[in-house]
Structure 1
Amino acid sequence: MHRTTILITGAASGIGAAIARSLAAPDRALMLHTGTNAAGLDLVAGAARAKGAQVATLTGDLSDPALPAQLVAAAVDRFGGLDQLVSNAGRAQRADFDTLSDADLLAAFQTMPLAFFRLITAALPRLRQSSCGRVVAISSFVAHLHGTNGMLFPATSAAKAALEALARSLAVQLGPEGVTVNCVAPGFTRKDPSGHAATSGAAMDQAAAITPNRRLGTPQDIAGAVAFLLSDAAAHITGQTLHVDGGLMLP
């Protein structure tokens, strides 16, 4: 049986964990990463194995310049190749320009667009060899809407916008080789109880009220979009940002 090998960063909770569970199947090999939540990653890995997937895990800080190449090498060593990449790691940081620091901005860029760039640099030879090469980067509505619900995320907004720009440039380069590159931009999305939350419960209730379909997104909503973009059905879609936000981006 041919197995599609997929590397997923930030897979221990929330959107990344939902993506891993959604993709797990007997014809899949998953290389799962987390920054520090090893216990959460073990649970996700166990759930994926129960669905028949082969699974390997690695823990490490994506701001470490060496880690992206280590993740790609680990996938190749364990499974013999790498077909698809889901760049999900990163967290929202709420701030304004009175409180934002150089270190905050640098950290956002290191863990999102710079880590994505390093992952792609390491993975390119393998993606080009694959018959189903796919890249999906998880962006955010904050790259497009600013100050929504009275909240500012300047570092996250800038980092996610840079991530989308890198993805579009990569899509142009890899298009002739049959590798697609897309982004998924969640709207306000419900977090795991144990996960990082940049927004209070009251603010999230208000966010649901201003979303056209009147609810928060779920990690499963995002996972479904990612699974589609990785599939053969999306082979002619590249260079796009798919907004999974309940209509939040509507004028």
Structure 2
Amino acid sequence: MTERRILVTGASSGIGAAVVRAIAGPGVHVAIHARNNREGAGRAAEGARAAGAEATILMADLAQPGEPERLVAEAAAAMGGLDVLVSNAGFADRTPVASLTDADFARSQDTVLWALLRLARVAGPLLAEGRDPRLVAVSSFVAHNFRTDSTVFPASAAAKAGLEALVKALALEWAPTVTVNAVAPGYTQKDAGAHAALDPKAWEAVLGRIPLRRLGQPADVAAAIAFMASPAAAYITGQCLHVDGGVVI
């Protein structure tokens, strides 16, 4: 019997794929979302099934109006309901404000902030009928890290800061039925061959700014998300948990 029905967006690689690995097991049905990396989503699904979970692959471009709503509806139909939504899809944009076009800024907002709003509006009633319902949104340290010795990500920071504010608003609106929280990763290791916002030299310099002196691993972040998505996190809502090695203190 399926005991936990979980939709994870941006789950074909990186943190999203690690979340799938962290939550997969008997009694779990996970809907694995990807924008265009069906191969990566397939690998994540294979791993989930090997761990005893059911897995469904769903494709959608969350920056497009109507797509978040369709994704939630299809996930709920495939799983027979929804207990957990993990809103993870996003990307990093370090373009300086002076060079940032309206279209590029809007793309960050559409993929991160607007996607969360659109997902939440349709997921809310489904989650309210679920078991130990949770919404966990993936933010980022870039919404908190503004220093002259660090790279600043203006569009991403604005989108993630908005996401955290929306998390707090949803936590109030959906209480006491559904908990809503955010997890904010720090500098996190990318998958081999994946696009990185920083070059190798910049990544090396980053280590000196991390108190724990290492990059985070996707599994580090996934463990925190899995906890926030679990029944054990029943008395936590409206919070942002930083998983960043101490970058934001």
Q: TM-score range by the shorter chain?
A: over 0.9
Question: TM-score w.r.t. structure 2 length?
Answer: 0.97
Distance 2:237 2:154 in 1: 27
Q: Given that residues 145 and 152 in structure 2 are in contact (C-alpha distance below 8 angstroms), is that contact kept between their aligned partners in structure 1?
A: no
| CA offsets 1:221-245 (integer angstroms, 9 cap, x no match) | 0000001111122110000000001
Distance 1:194 1:3 in 2: 35
Q: Which residue of 1 aligns with 2:206?
A: 207
Q: Does 1:185 align with 2:179?
A: no
Q: Which residue of 1 aligns with 2:94?
A: 94
Q: Which residue of 1 aligns with 2:4?
A: 4
1:158 maps to amino acid? A
Q: Which runs of 5+ in 1 are unaligned?
A: none
Q: Does 1:153 align with 2:153?
A: yes
Distance 1:7 1:89 in 2: 12
Q: Which runs of 5+ in 2 are unaligned?
A: none
Give the drift of 1:114.
0.3
Distance 1:30 1:5 in 2: 6
Q: Which residue of 1 aligns with 2:51?
A: 51
Distance 1:4 1:100 in 2: 41
| CA offsets 1:100-147 (integer angstroms, 9 cap, x no match) | 111111000000010000001111111111121000000000101124
The CA RMSD over aligned residues, in Å, is 1.1
Q: Which residue of 2 aligns with 1:247?
A: 246
Q: Does 1:72 align with 2:94?
A: no
| CA offsets 1:165-205 (integer angstroms, 9 cap, x no match) | 0010000111222x110000011111001322111111111
Name which of structure 1's ranges 140-149 and 216-225 shifts more when overlaid on structure 2.
140-149
Distance 2:110 2:219 in 1: 27
Name which of structure 1's ranges 230-239 and 147-156 shifts more when overlaid on structure 2.
147-156
Distance 1:146 1:128 in 2: 37
Distance 1:245 1:185 in 2: 7
The 3-state SS of whatever aligns with 1:225 is helix
Give the drift of 1:149.
4.0
Distance 1:137 1:195 in 2: 22
2:40 maps to amino acid? G
Distance 1:148 1:124 in 2: 40
Q: Which residue of 2 aligns with 1:176?
A: 176
Q: Given that residues 11 and 17 in structure 2 are in contact (C-alpha distance below 8 angstroms), is that contact kept between their aligned partners in structure 1?
A: yes
Q: Does 1:60 align with 2:52?
A: no
Name which of structure 1's ranges 227-236 and 238-247 shifts more when overlaid on structure 2.
227-236
Change in Cα spacing, 1:155 to 1:54, as seen in structure 2 (3 Å) is same
Distance 2:118 2:193 in 1: 29
Aligned residue pairs, count: 249
Give the drift of 1:150.
3.2
1:7 maps to amino acid? L
Distance 1:76 1:240 in 2: 26
Q: Given that residues 212 and 246 in structure 1 are in contact (C-alpha distance below 8 angstroms), is that contact kept between their aligned partners in structure 2?
A: yes
1:116 maps to amino acid? L
Q: Does 1:15 align with 2:15?
A: yes
Question: TM-score w.r.t. structure 1 length?
Answer: 0.96
1:18 maps to amino acid? A
| CA offsets 1:15-55 (integer angstroms, 9 cap, x no match) | 00000111111111001111111111111111111111111
1:75 maps to amino acid? A
1:166 maps to amino acid? L
Give the drift of 1:2.
3.8
Distance 2:131 2:38 in 1: 32
2:96 maps to amino acid? D
The 3-state SS of whatever aligns with 1:203 is helix
Q: Structure 1: which 4+ aligned runs deviate by more than 4 Å?
A: none
